[in-house]
Structure 1
Amino acid sequence: MHEIVSIRPLLAVIASLAVTPILLSARSPNVREGWTFAAGAVKLGIVLSMLPAVLGGNVFCFALTEVIPGIRLAFRVDAMGMLFALVASTLWIVTSAYSIGYMRGLDEHSQTRYFCFFAIALSATIGAAFAANLVTLYMFYEILSFATYPLVTHHQDEEAKISGRKYLFFIVGGSVVLVLPAMIICHMKAGTLDFAPQGFLAGHVTQGLAAVLLLLFVFGLAKAALMPMHSWLPAAMVAPTPVSALLHAVAVVKVGAFSVARVLTGVFGVDLLAQYGLGILLAVLASITILVASFIALSQDGLKRRLAFSTIGQLSYILLGVALLTPKSITGGLVHIAMHAFGKITLFFCAGAIFVAAGIKNISEMKGLGRRMPITMGAFFIGSLSVIGLPPGGGFISKWFLALGALESHELAFLCVLLFSSFLNAAYFLPIAYNAFFAKPPDDAKEVGFQEAPPWCVVPLAFTAIASVWLFFNPWPFLDLARLAAAQVTGG
C-alpha cells in the first residue's frame, strides 16, 4: 500500500463549504442554484480524480493541523472512505436538482438558508468519509449534526421544534455522553487514535473493557439508528422531503453506519472482535433492529414514516455485514451503503413528488395513483425492488454478498434473519406499488388524468431508479471498492 500526500482530500471537503458565502449573497435563485451545482461538480471531480489510485490499493493522506499534542486533524482516503464519498458526492448533485423542483413547487420559505446548510452538511459528510482518526471523524460527525438541525426544523412550527430537540438529544447527546469517554479510554490504553487497517486496540484492552467500548461506540454513534437509539429518525420526517432524502441516503444515517464500520475495523480490528466474540454481540443487536423495524414499518400508513422505519432496518444490514467479520459479509455490508442509497433516495424522491403533485402523504390514499403518476410510481416500484433485494435492483448484489457472508461465517441464524427480513421488506413495499397501478381509486378521488410533479422532481427520481437497475448489471466501482476495503481490514 503506497501513501500519496495530497491536498485533494481537503479540497474535496471544502468545495461545497467555500460557496456558502456566495449562496448567501446571491440575489437570484438561479445564481444560487447554479453555484450549488458548480460546487457539486467540483467536489465530485476531485473525488473521482482519486478513484483510480485508490482502486490500485493506494491511499491519499493530508494532515492539516495538530489539535492537541500527538493528535492531528488529518485525512486519509482509502477504499472504504472512497466508496462512501463517491456515493455522497454523486447523490448530492441529484438531490440538489430535486430540491429545486420540490422547494419551488411548494414555494417553500428560506430556500437560501436551506441550500447553505445543505452545502455545509455535504462538506461534513466528506470530512467524515476521509477522516484519518477518531478525532477528525468525531469533529465532522458533530458538524454534520448541527448543520442538519436547521434542515430538520425548516418549517419552524411546534412539531418541527420538538423533532429538532429530539434529533439533537439523540445524535449529539449520544456522541458526547458515550463516544467522547470511549475515545478518551482508547487513547489512554493505546496511545493513539489513528485508524489502522487491523485496528489499534489489540493487546491493550481486556475482553470486558472491549465489550464496554463497543457498546459505547455503537450506541453513541446514534446516527446509525441502532435500537433503542433510533427514535430521532422517524421524528425527523417532519422535514421537507429533500432533507429526508439527505438524511436517509446521502449523509446523516450513512455517516452513522459508516462511522460504526470504521470504528469496528479501524479501532477494534477484525481479529480482536473475533477473539472476544464481540462480532456476534453486534450481529445480535443489528438483527433485533432489522426485524423490529421491519415489523413496525408494516403498521405505518404515513409513507415517509414507513420509509423511515425501513431505513432503520436497512442500516443494520450494514452493521450486520461488518459484524459477521468475513470478507464476503464485510463486502456486502459496505456495498449496501451504495445500493441502499440509490434505492432509498428514489423512494423518498417519489414520496416528495407525490406530495407536490397530489398532496398525498398516506399510503391508504395512493390507490390508483399509478394511473395519474406512472413515472413516479414506476420508479417507486424499482426503488422498492432494490431495497428489498430483488433483481433487477442493485440491492440484490449487496444482500447476495451478505447471505454468502452469513454462510461463510457458519452463522445460519443470521442468514435466516436476512431472508425473513427481506420477506418483510416485500410485504411493506410491494402492496404500495400494486395498489397504485391495479387498485380502484377512492370514490372521492378526482379524475385529473396525467399529473406528474414538475420535471425538476421527476427527472432526478427517474435517474436514481435507472441507476439502481444499472448497478445490478454493473456495480462498478462500488463493489470493487467494497471488496478492496474488506481485503484491507481482514488482511486478505
Structure 2
Amino acid sequence: MENAIYLILLLLSSFIPAIIIFFLKESSTNLRNILNLTGIFFKIILVFIIFQGVKLGVKFKFSYEIVNGIEFVLKADELSLLFAILSSVLWLFTTVYAISYLKNSPNQGQFFGFFSLCVMSTVAIAIAGNLFTFFIFYELLTLVTFPLVMHNKNEASKQAAISYLKYTIFGGLFFLIGIVGLYMISGVQEFVSGGFLSQINVENHKYLQIIFVILLIGVGVKAAIFPLHGWLPLAMAAPAPVSALLHAVAVVKAGAFGIVRIVYEVYGIDFAYSLGLLTVLMIVAVVTIVYGSIKALLQIELKKVLAYSTVSQVSYILLGVSLFGPIGTVGGLVHLVHQGIMKITLFFCAGAFAKTYGIKEVSQMNGLGKKMPLVSFSFTIASLGMIGIPPIAGFVTKWYLALSAVENNLWFILVVIGISALLNAAYFLPILYRIWFLEPENEKQKIVPTKYFESRAFLVIPALLTALISLLLGIFAFSDWSALSWVEYLVKLEYK
C-alpha cells in the first residue's frame, strides 16, 4: 500500500459528515450546512494533493484481500483524477445551490445525508482500482441516489424512483455477470493501462465479444444509452439539485466513465479494435446521439428537454472512444468534463426559473432575460456550448471528434455530428429566442428578488460561475491548466 491514507480520507470526507447528518435534528440547519461544506472543501484539497502527487510520479494505492484472489483496491491515476476532480468541484457548486434551493423545505437531513453518500460513491468509482471495487460503489451509488430521486414524495417522484431502481438493478445484474465471466477466464480484475485482457492469451474471442456486450449493457443503463435510457427523463420529477447531479456529476457520468474503463483498461483500445468492439460502441453512440436530440426537440417541459439532451450528449464520450486513435479519445474524454459543467449550468438555471417564477415548460419562458438576466445569461452560454458554438467548451469536443472522423475517413460521423448540432440548435435556439426577444408574461412572482440578485443569491451565483467556467475552458483550452491539457497528457500515456 502506497500513500493509502489519502485515498481513505478522500472517502471519509463525505462518509463521516453523512453519518453525522443522519443523526442531527431536522432543525440543525447551520450545523448540517457546515458539515456538508467542510466535507466537500476537505475532499477538494485532498484531490488536488493527490493530483499534484500523481503529476510527480507518486503512487497512491490501497488494497485489501477479501477472499482468495478477490481484492478491494483503490488507486489514483491520471484517468481516475479526471473524474474525481470533476465530481468534487461540481459537488461544491451543487451543495451551495442545494442549500439555497431547499431552504425551508422538509426532510433536509435525509436529503443531505444521502447527498454526501452520493459524492462518496462517485469519487470511489473514480478511484476504484479493479472491477470488483468499481462494482461495489457502482451499486452503492444506486442505493444512495434512490432516496434523492424520491425526495419530493409525490406520485411522479415515486414512480420515477421505482423506474430508476428497476433499470439500475437490471444493469447491475448484467454488470455482475460480465465481471464474473471475465474473472473465470482471466483471474484478473485490476485496471491496467493497455487492458489486462490484451496481456493474457484468450483463444475464444467470441466469448470476449459477448462479455463486452454484457458489460456494455450493465454500465450502459447509467450512461443512458438507447434503449436503456428510459429512467432518466422520468427522474426529472426530482428536485433540481438532484437532476443536476444525476446528469452532470454522478450517475450518468459514472456509466460513461465505466465504459471508458472497460475499453481502455480491461480490454485495451488496440485489442478492443481488433475484436470489432469499437464498431459496436460507435453504432450505439450514433443511434443514441441522434435519438436523444430528436426526443429533446419534441419535449414541452424544460427539464425533459435537458434530460434528452443528456441522453444525446453523453454518447459523444462513447463516440470519441469508438473513433480509434488519440484525437477521438481526447474529444471523448474532454467531453466528460465539458458536458458536465455545461449541463450542470443548465439544470441550475432550470431550477432557478422554477423556484423563482414557477416556470417548468418552455412556453412559459418568454421574457426571462428581462426578469432574470444573470440566470438567463448563464443558460444562454451553456446552451450555445451544447450546440457547439465557439469559443465555449462544447466546441472543443465537436472539433476533436470531427478531426478524428476525418483522420479515420469516417465521413458519415461528420454527418452525424452536423445533424446533432442542427438538432441541438433546433431545440435550444427557440428557447433563447423566447428568453431574450419575447415580452414577459405577467406572472405573479413567487420569490421577491434580493437587493442584489434576481432570485436567491445562491441560486444565481453557482449558475453564473459554472457558465463562466464553460466559457473559460473553451477560450483557454490550450493552456497548461485546462481540462484539454490534462486529457491530452493522459491520452499520450495510453497511446505511447
How high is the TM-score relative to the length of structure 1?
A: 0.95
| Contact 1:19–1:35, Cα closer than 8 Å, also in 2 | yes
Alignment-derived partner of residue 129 in structure 1:
126
The reply to whether residue 223 of structure 1 matches residue 222 of structure 2 is yes
| Contact 1:57–1:484, Cα closer than 8 Å, also in 2 | no
**How has the CA–CA distance of structure 1 residues 448 and 371 changed in structure 2, closer, same or farther, with 3 Å as cutoff?**
farther
Alignment-derived partner of residue 152 in structure 1:
149
Which of residues 174, 187, 191 is equivalent to 2:187? 191
Which of residues 472, 486, 490 is equivalent to 1:485? 490
Alignment-derived partner of residue 283 in structure 1:
282
- Give the deviation of 1:325 after TM superposition: 2.2
Cα RMSD over matched residues? 1.8
| Contact 2:357–2:446, Cα closer than 8 Å, also in 1 | no
Alignment of 1:231-310 (within 5 A): 231-310=230-309
- Give the deviation of 1:445 after TM superposition: 4.2
Q: Which one-letter code corresponds to 1:400 in the other structure? A: W
**How has the CA–CA distance of structure 1 residues 423 and 44 changed in structure 2, closer, same or farther, with 3 Å as cutoff?**
same
| Contact 2:356–2:447, Cα closer than 8 Å, also in 1 | no
Alignment-derived partner of residue 470 in structure 1:
472
Alignment-derived partner of residue 41 in structure 1:
41
Aligned partners of 2:336 and 2:359: how far apart in 1? 29
- Give the deviation of 1:54 after TM superposition: 2.5
SS of 2:14's equivalent in the other structure is helix
Q: Which one-letter code corresponds to 1:373 in the other structure? A: M
| Contact 1:200–1:269, Cα closer than 8 Å, also in 2 | yes
The reply to whether residue 109 of structure 1 matches residue 106 of structure 2 is yes
Structure 2 unmatched runs, 5+ = none
Alignment of 1:314-325 (within 5 A): 314-325=313-324
- Give the deviation of 1:334 after TM superposition: 0.8
Q: Which one-letter code corresponds to 1:134 in the other structure? A: L
Q: Which one-letter code corresponds to 1:122 in the other structure? A: V
Alignment-derived partner of residue 16 in structure 1:
14
SS of 2:73's equivalent in the other structure is strand
| Contact 1:163–1:236, Cα closer than 8 Å, also in 2 | yes
SS of 1:194's equivalent in the other structure is coil
Aligned partners of 1:233 and 1:464: how far apart in 2? 23
The reply to whether residue 162 of structure 1 matches residue 159 of structure 2 is yes
Q: Which one-letter code corresponds to 1:329 in the other structure? A: G
Q: Show CA shifts across 1:4-27 (max 9, x none).
A: 543212211221111123223444
Aligned partners of 1:21 and 1:190: how far apart in 2? 38
Alignment of 1:324-339 (within 5 A): 324-339=323-338
- Give the deviation of 1:392 after TM superposition: 2.6
Aligned partners of 2:490 and 2:242: how far apart in 1? 29
- Give the deviation of 1:366 after TM superposition: 0.7
| Contact 2:448–2:455, Cα closer than 8 Å, also in 1 | no
Aligned partners of 1:80 and 1:449: how far apart in 2? 43
**How has the CA–CA distance of structure 1 residues 477 and 5 changed in structure 2, closer, same or farther, with 3 Å as cutoff?**
farther
| Contact 2:341–2:470, Cα closer than 8 Å, also in 1 | yes
- Give the deviation of 1:402 after TM superposition: 1.7
Alignment-derived partner of residue 76 in structure 2:
77
Structure 1 unmatched runs, 5+ = none
- Give the deviation of 1:59 after TM superposition: 4.4
| Contact 1:133–1:194, Cα closer than 8 Å, also in 2 | yes
| Contact 1:345–1:464, Cα closer than 8 Å, also in 2 | yes
SS of 1:7's equivalent in the other structure is helix
- Give the deviation of 1:449 after TM superposition: 12
Alignment-derived partner of residue 61 in structure 1:
61
| Contact 1:303–1:362, Cα closer than 8 Å, also in 2 | yes
Q: Which one-letter code corresponds to 1:42 in the other structure? A: F
Aligned partners of 1:447 and 1:66: how far apart in 2? 59
Percent identity among equivalent residues? 38
SS of 1:387's equivalent in the other structure is helix
Aligned partners of 1:125 and 1:283: how far apart in 2? 26
Q: Show CA shifts across 1:377-406 (max 9, x none).
A: 111000112222212311122222222222
Structure with greater contact order relative to length (CA < 8 Å, sep ≥ 6): 1
Alignment-derived partner of residue 386 in structure 1:
385
Which of residues 144, 159, 175 is equivalent to 1:179? 175
Q: Which one-letter code corresponds to 2:140 in the other structure? A: I
Which of residues 132, 137, 142 is equivalent to 1:140? 137
- Give the deviation of 1:134 after TM superposition: 0.2
Aligned partners of 1:439 and 1:450: how far apart in 2? 22
Q: Show CA shifts across 1:347-384 (max 9, x none).
A: 00000000011001000111112111111111100011
Aligned partners of 1:110 and 1:57: how far apart in 2? 45
Moved more, 479-488 or 139-148: 479-488
Alignment-derived partner of residue 395 in structure 2:
396
| Contact 1:80–1:334, Cα closer than 8 Å, also in 2 | no
Alignment-derived partner of residue 365 in structure 1:
364
- Give the deviation of 1:427 after TM superposition: 1.4
SS of 1:18's equivalent in the other structure is helix
| Contact 1:58–1:78, Cα closer than 8 Å, also in 2 | no
Aligned residues: 484
**How has the CA–CA distance of structure 1 residues 447 and 41 changed in structure 2, closer, same or farther, with 3 Å as cutoff?**
closer
Alignment of 1:80-95 (within 5 A): 80-95=79-94
Q: Show CA shifts across 1:394-448 (max 9, x none).
A: 1122222222222222222122212221221121112211211101334x64599
Q: Show CA shifts across 1:172-214 (max 9, x none).
A: 22111x1111111101111101111111223325332222112
SS of 1:19's equivalent in the other structure is helix
SS of 1:465's equivalent in the other structure is helix
Aligned partners of 2:387 and 2:448: how far apart in 1? 28
Moved more, 326-335 or 199-208: 199-208
| Contact 2:60–2:76, Cα closer than 8 Å, also in 1 | yes
Aligned partners of 2:119 and 2:407: how far apart in 1? 36
| Contact 2:61–2:73, Cα closer than 8 Å, also in 1 | yes
Aligned partners of 2:81 and 2:464: how far apart in 1? 25
